[in-house]
Amino acid sequence: MQLIDCPWCGPREELEFHYGGQAHVSYPPDPQALTDEQWGHFVFFRDNPKGPFPERWVHGAGCRRWFNAVRDTRTHEFLAVYPIGAARPGVPGGDA
């Protein structure tokens, strides 16, 4: 089983974590001003790249903290782990 490097607890089994979708999707500053189409894009549309993808993960069976990770969607390899709110780190071989 793959180990995921929790920023607090260190490497733990993948089983202890849950996936939280794409990272860096910020809430619109003025939701009322959006058209239905723009709102639909915010709610339903996510990137689906083949390669490095920034995602949110939570260490559910451990410290229960959320963090961001860059995962390669082709190999399921975790390339970087970084705190919520931090900018996406440059990843070797990534397109960041």
Residues of this chain that interact with another protein (CB under 8 A) are 1, 8-10, 12-13, 15-16, 61-65
CB of 83 to another protein, least distance (A): 10
Q: Which is nearer to another protein, 25 or 84 (CB)?
A: 84
CB of 62 to another protein, least distance (A): 5
CB of 67 to another protein, least distance (A): 11
Q: Residue 86 in contact with residue 92, Cβ under 8 Å?
A: no
Q: Show the tokens assigned to 56.
A: 């949110």
Compute the distance between CA of residue 42 and CA of residue 36 in angstroms, rounded to an integer: 10
Q: Which is nearer to another protein, 34 or 61 (CB)?
A: 61
Q: Which is nearer to another protein, 1 or 33 (CB)?
A: 1
Q: Which of 66, 91, 87, 88 is nearest to 78 (CA)?
A: 91
Q: Residue 71 in contact with residue 77, Cβ under 8 Å?
A: yes
